């Protein structure tokens, strides 16, 4: 029993026990509608007025953007393979697992937990031990998010002399730095058995909806254990950092290719700064996969770097078509190919999709994944 959880201590009431369920769901729907009204629809309207630019589209750069996005997915699958023991699923099977988990994350708000649950079950059903699957998925999701913050921080430092000091740069750099420092401090303290860190984590966890004290403590301890295990094997650590970094860099390069396809060459460092900030903002679990948030913020930041509004809007929407929308049907097909034997009828395939949705709603049976790691996969 933890000191802060003694029998005499009154258990604080969660806001979820006070606010009716119908009101919570109504607020969520209202927030989603606000995002659609003020972020998604304006981008679509702006894009519809600039469709004449499609006649000048460079097909070569467009194909390159699609290929780079595919490379980002393969890199994430290679990250998974690096974190799994030898003899695990092959690369092609891991790519399909990544696509299936990505599809779930792009369909439901805060879908990182649901995607992790689906991925966990797919890994264990393909011969991976539960502990190994949990370690791999938790480490890659959290570690990938940390790698993005590090890359973003470096991009901001490099781009300041090139593009000047934007106010959002300061906010993003400070938030990223504080998040990295705080996560490292808590993980280190918990792995050393620090009771003060335990009380802090549990106190924060009790105030986070759908998390709670026990789950957040397990999560932070899992992060610390993952770091310790990786630190003891520098070869695996270097490979994991390589594939996690390539996952983000190739995804950002895909966006750069879509911008270039419309005849505008933007500085790669400035583009990564816009890309990183957009993905950090998109991690807020309001809409699935940051839908609307990433499009609006990325386009706005690209305009601040000299890209015309019409090119920025069409390029970002084209990139998100490949980055966000395309993995949804492909991920569904990938899930069916993993769960349904060859030759099975349409009924079995439809049932597989039903099972996929049911798995996504039971995240508690899989590994503990931090909701803030949303977007870990592109």
Q: 10 Å Cβ neighbour count for 44? A: 13
User: How far apart are the C-alpha atoms of 299 and 314, rounded to whole Å?
Assistant: 9
Provide the 3-class DSSP secondary structure of residue 146: helix
Structural contact between residues 243 and 76, judged by C-beta atoms closer than 8 angstroms: yes
pLDDT at residue number 134: 80
pLDDT tens for 39-60 read 555 555 555 555 555 667 889 9
Which range of 15-24, 208-217, 222-231, 350-359 scores highest in mean pLDDT? It is: 350-359
Sequence-ordered alpha helix ranges (H) in the chain: 15-18, 21-35, 41-48, 59-83, 91-105, 112-125, 130-163, 167-191, 195-205, 212-231, 234-261, 268-282, 293-304, 309-320, 327-339, 346-360
Which range of 32-36, 79-83, 161-165, 367-371 scores highest in mean pLDDT? It is: 79-83
pLDDT at residue number 376: 47
Kindly report the CA angle at 324 between 61 and 46, in degrees rounded to 5? 70
pLDDT tens for 132-167 read 888 888 788 878 888 998 898 888 878 777 666 666
**Nearest of 163, 154, 155, 164 to residue 269 by alpha carbon:** 155
Structural contact between residues 126 and 339, judged by C-beta atoms closer than 8 angstroms: no
- Section 209-223 average pLDDT: 61
User: How far apart are the C-alpha atoms of 336 and 122, rounded to whole Å?
Assistant: 11
């Amino acid at each position: 029993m933890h000191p802060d959880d003694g029998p005499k201590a009154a258990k604080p009431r969660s806001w979820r026990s006070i606010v009716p369920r119908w009101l919570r769901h109504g607020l969520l729907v209202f927030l989603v509608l606000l995002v659609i009204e003020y972020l998604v629809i304006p981008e679509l309207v702006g894009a519809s007025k600039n469709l004449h630019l499609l006649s000048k589209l460079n097909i070569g750069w467009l194909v390159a953007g699609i290929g780079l996005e595919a490379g980002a997915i393969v890199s994430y699958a290679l990250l998974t393979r690096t974190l799994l023991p030898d003899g695990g699923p092959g690369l092609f099977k891991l790519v399909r697992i990544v696509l299936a988990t990505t599809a779930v994350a792009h369909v439901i708000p805060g879908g990182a937990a649901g995607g992790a649950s689906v991925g966990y079950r797919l890994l264990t059903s393909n011969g991976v031990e539960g502990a190994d699957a949990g370690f791999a998925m938790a480490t890659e999701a959290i570690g990938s998010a940390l790698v993005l913050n590090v890359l973003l921080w470096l991009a901001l430092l490099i781009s300041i002399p090139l593009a000047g000091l934007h106010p959002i740069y300061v906010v993003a750099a400070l938030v990223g730095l504080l998040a990295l420092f705080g996560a490292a401090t808590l993980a280190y303290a918990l792995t050393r058995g620090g009771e003060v860190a335990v009380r802090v984590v549990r106190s924060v966890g009790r105030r986070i909806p759908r998390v709670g004290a026990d789950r957040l403590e397990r999560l932070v301890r899992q992060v610390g254990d993952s770091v310790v295990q990786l630190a003891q094997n520098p070869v695996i650590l270097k490979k994991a950092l390589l594939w996690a970094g390539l996952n983000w860099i190739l995804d950002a390069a895909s966006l750069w290719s879509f911008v270039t396809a419309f005849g505008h060459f933007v500085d790669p460092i400035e583009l990564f700064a816009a890309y990183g900030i957009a993905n950090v903002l998109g991690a807020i679990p309001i809409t699935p996969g940051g839908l609307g948030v990433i499009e609006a913020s990325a386009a706005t930041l690209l305009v601040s770097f000299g890209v015309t509004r019409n090119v920025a809007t069409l390029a970002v929407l084209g990139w998100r078509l490949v980055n966000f929308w395309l993995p949804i049907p492909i991920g569904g097909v990938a899930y069916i190919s993993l769960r349904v034997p060859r030759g099975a009828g349409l009924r079995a395939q439809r049932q597989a999709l039903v099972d996929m949705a049911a798995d996504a709603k039971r995240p508690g049976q899989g590994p503990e994944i931090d909701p803030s790691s949303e977007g870990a996969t592109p």
